[in-house]
Amino acid sequence: MKRILFFVALAIIATGCSADKDQEKLLLDTVIKTHDKLMADDGAIMKNKMSLKAFANPSSDIQDSITYYNKLLGNADDAMMNWMNKFSPDFTGKTHEQIMAYLNDQKAQVLKLDSQINNAVSSSNKFIQKVKTK
């Protein structure tokens, strides 16, 4: 009887550990998926910065706007690079709770970055289109 209880307990523990790992993997995959989207958006940041550079002219009446949108795009790009440099998916020696807390924090940060980058790209796109149609 003790032997059966031991194997049942072992099976329950193994199932619990597996569920924890599945939760961790799912959350990590969500963070990585958002990161991958941001990397694609980084191309739009660079494209818009080049477009703004083409419009640059110190005597232009739109120079202040060009500077503003360049700064907006640069800040978004810098924020992404800063996040990427600090992100560490090495969970050696961490408990499930620590891993989940870290990944939930990273998810919140990367979603905030997504919003920041979307705003910078969208608003600079509108400005670029407006300047092109003049």
Burial 39-75 (b: 16+ CB within 10 A, else e): eebbebbeebbebbeebeeeeeebeebbeebbebbee
Question: Which among 4-8, 9-13, 64-68 has the top mean pLDDT?
Answer: 64-68
User: Which of 49-53, 56-60, 110-114 comes out lowest in average pLDDT?
Assistant: 56-60
Per-residue pLDDT tens digits for 92-125: 999 999 999 999 999 999 999 999 999 999 999 9
Instruction: Determine the pLDDT at residue 7.
Output: 41
pTM (2 decimals)?
0.80
